[in-house]
Copies of this chain bind each other. A is one copy, B any other.
Amino acid sequence: MAELKKVGVLTSGGDAPGMNAAIRSVVRSCIFYGIEPVAIHEGYKGLIDNDLEIMNARSVANIINQGGTFLKSARCQEFRTPEGRAAAYENAKAAGLDGLVVIGGDGSFTGAMLLEKEHGLPCIGVPGTIDNDIFGTDFTIGYDTALNTVVEAIDKIRDTATSHNRLFLIEVMGRDAGFIALNAGIAAGAEEILIPEDQKPIDQLMDSLENSGRAGKTSSIVVVSEGDKSGGVFELSRAVEENFPAYEVKVTVLGHIQRGGKPSCYDRVLASRLGVASVEALRDGISGVMVGVRDQKIVQTPLEEAISKHNAIDSNLLKVADIVTV
């Protein structure tokens, strides 16, 4: 196995809090192990455009607590083509990169997998996305921060809901997975939680709201995952208003505040651990895998598997949600 001399790092796809902590960890792990770290700007686009920068330990000072990614992220249609990837590889080769760490979600991992398969550049994936929908890790970087952001926002809305006896429908992120909605919903004391994995007929929601009303609850919070199939939070609002003309229904779409903010302690530690693990994997001659954390231990999952499989919602948690909103 050839000695590792130069490793690139990039962030790709939707940004997530903790990506900077992950970049910092990759850079410093490289330095710790005598490898030269190279930052690639704007994801795969920067590889194609040859927008690279040699890093040192000071390059990543004071970023561990910053949201977003200072390397930036960008969509890159060109990289989805074999020609784009070939161009990217040429630049990587010219720069002397003998390994690449890709921080992002499954779209980003698909790119890494193809780059390695087609051109032999050893790639490691690091799961960075607020959605927590990546197989091969219990938690993705950014997810814990997003949960806290959502819960803080719903706490605020609860203040006004309670003051006015209102029903709030709150849409949170999670196109394919209800992790954010389910956990933040439990934590915020939501009366109902609608997620893609557990489609309830709308009648059930109406029954539940009616029961709430009878039990003396005068305000309600319903958390809706954007991936829920009931037709979107605005359509849901119309349905509730038709069924309960007396209710004052309000809709809030939390939107992009969920992506930003200072990363939580958990996300910073997770990012630090996975950054180290990604460089150590490359040093061990391992590639084509994503590093993740399972049962608090570092594990590696082939990129192919990380992309194709999905974490299931914990069904016990669905039950907990039912019980605590009694």
Seen from chain A, the residues whose Cβ lies within 8 Å of a Cβ on chain B are 11, 15, 17, 19, 21, 24-25, 28-29, 31-32, 57-58, 61-62, 64-69, 72-74, 138, 144, 147-153, 155-165, 168, 183-184, 186-189, 215-217, 250-257, 259-262, 264-266, 268-269, 272-273, 275-276, 294-296, 298, 314, 316-317, 319-320, 322-326
Q: Could you list 12 examples of A-B contacts with CB < 8 Å?
A: A24-B324, A68-B160, A149-B156, A151-B265, A152-B262, A156-B259, A157-B259, A184-B265, A252-B255, A252-B257, A266-B266, A295-B296
Closest CB in chain B relative to A138 CB, distance in Å = 6
A97 to chain B, nearest CB (A): 20
Give the distance in Å from the alpha carbon of A64 to the alpha carbon of B111 in the complex: 36
- Cβ contacts under 8 Å, A58 to chain B: 215-216
Partner of A253, one of B57, B157, B253: B253
Q: Of the candidates B189, B255, B265, B325, which one forms a contact with A65 in the assembled complex, judged by CB atoms under 8 Å apart?
A: B189
Interface residue from B188, B253, B324 paired with A255 (Cβ < 8 Å): B253
Query: Distance (Å) between the CB of A193 and the closest chain B CB?
Result: 12
CA–CA, A73 to B163, complex, Å?
6
CB distance from A126 to the nearest CB of B (A): 14
Residues of B within 8 A of A21 (CB): 187
Q: Which residues of B contact A189 (CB under 8 A)?
A: 62, 64-65
The CA of A250 and the CA of B320, in the complex, are separated in Å by: 36
When all copies of this chain in the complex are counted, the total is: 4
CB contacts (< 8 Å) of A157 on chain B: these are 256-257, 259-260
Q: A162 contacts B295, CB within 8 Å? A: no
| A138 CB contacts on chain B under 8 angstroms | 296
Known: A28-B324, A159-B67, A273-B320. A164 touches B72 (CB 8 A): yes
On chain B, the residues within 8 Å of A11 by CB distance are 163
A296: B residues at CB distance < 8 A: 138, 295, 314
Which residue of B has the minimal Cβ distance to A65? B155
Residues of chain B with a CB closer than 8 A to A25's CB: 320, 323-324
Q: Which of A149, A168, A276 has the most CB of B within 10 A?
A: A276
